[in-house]
Amino acid sequence: MESINQLGRAEFVERFGPLFEHSPWVAEDAWSDRPFADADELFEALRAAMYSAPRERQLALIRAHPDLAGKAAIEGTLTRSSTREQASAGLDRLTPDEYEAFTRTNTAYRERFGFPFVVCVREHTKESILRVAAERLAHTRDEEVRVALEEIAKIARLRMREIL
């Protein structure tokens, strides 16, 4: 932790910014909470920065996530982390029928909520992802923003464990 606490803002953001998909502002905001006693305290500072942001910034964070098995995956433009995470659930090896199911689900979800379906795929299989997405389509928008942020926190925690 000592070396992390000694990082300047730019170095801290370079290291921890990628934990939150295309949203380095989370790490920028958490940097000022140094020193961190341990990894849990570091994560809580990052999580608090995400939750204390204005709603529009939180929505931008959610919208920064790619569709699961979507266009970015096909074009190869996912971040390295997202590529590994989607592959861990088999989303890089879908049958044509499964791909169509994900496309339908992504479209329905975006139309209902105005942002992509976000789930910590490392905790799921492709089948459970589709099942959870169908369940979450019944949520209100406020409920779904809350759940999406919870899922983003899970993703960030797992990514942080990898880099520490």
Q: Which residues are part of the catalytic machinery?
A: 65
Give 21-28 contacts, CB < 8 A, sequence gap 24+.
21/61, 21/64, 21/65, 21/66, 21/79, 21/81, 21/82, 21/152, 21/155, 22/64, 22/79, 23/60, 23/61, 23/64, 25/49, 25/53, 25/57, 26/50, 26/53, 26/61, 26/156
